[in-house]
Amino acid sequence: MSLLTRFEGMAEFLFTEAFKKGATRLQPVEIAKELVKAMLKNKQVSISQVYVPNIYRVYLHSSDWGPIASFGDAFLIELSKYLFVEAERNGYTFLTKPAIELHADETVNPRQMVIEVDFDDSIDVNWGEELDDQGEERENAPPNSSNWRESTTIFRESVKTNFQPEGKSGRNSDYFLEIIEGPDTGQKFPLQEAEFFIGRHGQCDLVLHDPEVSRRHLKIASGGENGWWLDDLGSTNGSFVNGQRITHQTTAPGDRIKIGQSVLVIQRAP
């Protein structure tokens, strides 16, 4: 039996009761289809490989999120395996096994979804095998071992996520981000956290009122002494550094970061 057949069969079994009152909620197969679309849309071509995102954050209205969340990790693992097979079939490469997150978000309309993607080789996704290589139960593994729930933020109400690599404090208290063009010109934001999110959504760390900025547009993370990493979160209009479109890029003080109509620059405090 093919993985797709198993996936569709499992989805039908798990969700018949949840959705039998009518097809007024989002169906699980629709999530799978949209994840594949997001994967294909955001592929990146290198010299010898075509890479696709390995992190997928799916935001659903609470009326759709609730029935799905009640079934725990099993559905997310099947989605991850399904994406993995689809990528292999197309000859694409993941940095790691794909990690799927589902979040409740009241700003998303019922029966719709918002999907953010990201590339991150620092995570470790476990598909829930019962035994490890030594034949021991995974529940007896040391506390620092990664498992599916530790590696991804699953069924969490908050829209913020944190994949901060171990050992990065990320504090650059002498620097701030200044908006020099766009509707929020003049606004300044201290760079004191390991990472923060920029977009139009009210729960972003830095909220912009630029209509061309996506609701969750850009992540900025500490990259060490006086350096930062920028990650475009699958935005509609893209992110640019000094005129060049970027997906995952380092930046330094003085670089012009453009998202939508807004231009941001990292400055050192006087």
Rounded Cα gap, residues 113 and 124, in angstroms: 25
**For the chain, what is the radius of gyration of the CA atoms?**
20
**Amino acid 105: pLDDT:** 80
Phi-psi region of 139 (alpha: psi -120 to 50; beta: other; left: phi over 0): alpha
Q: With residue 148 as reference, give the H or E element that holds it.
A: helix 148-151
CB 104 within 8 A of CB 61: yes
Neighbour tally for 124: CB within 10 Å:
15
**Amino acid 253: pLDDT:** 92
User: Counting every residue, how long is the chain?
Assistant: 270
CB 104 within 8 A of CB 62: yes
**Amino acid 226: pLDDT:** 66
CB 110 within 8 A of CB 25: yes
pTM of structure: 0.51
**Amino acid 31: pLDDT:** 92
12 is written with which tokens?
């039908």
**Amino acid 2: pLDDT:** 45
Domain segments of the chain: what residues?
3-11+24-118, 172-268
Topology of domain 3-11+24-118, CATH:
hypothetical protein PF0899 fold (3.30.2320)
CATH code at 172-268: 2.60.200.20
**pLDDT tens digits, the chain, 270 residues: what are they?**
444 444 444 444 444 444 444 456 788 889 999 999 999 999 999 889 999 999 898 888 888 888 887 777 888 999 999 999 999 999 999 999 999 988 888 778 888 898 888 888 878 888 876 434 434 443 443 333 333 233 333 333 333 333 333 333 444 568 999 999 999 999 999 988 788 899 988 778 899 999 899 888 999 998 766 689 999 988 888 999 999 999 889 999 999 999 999 999 999 887
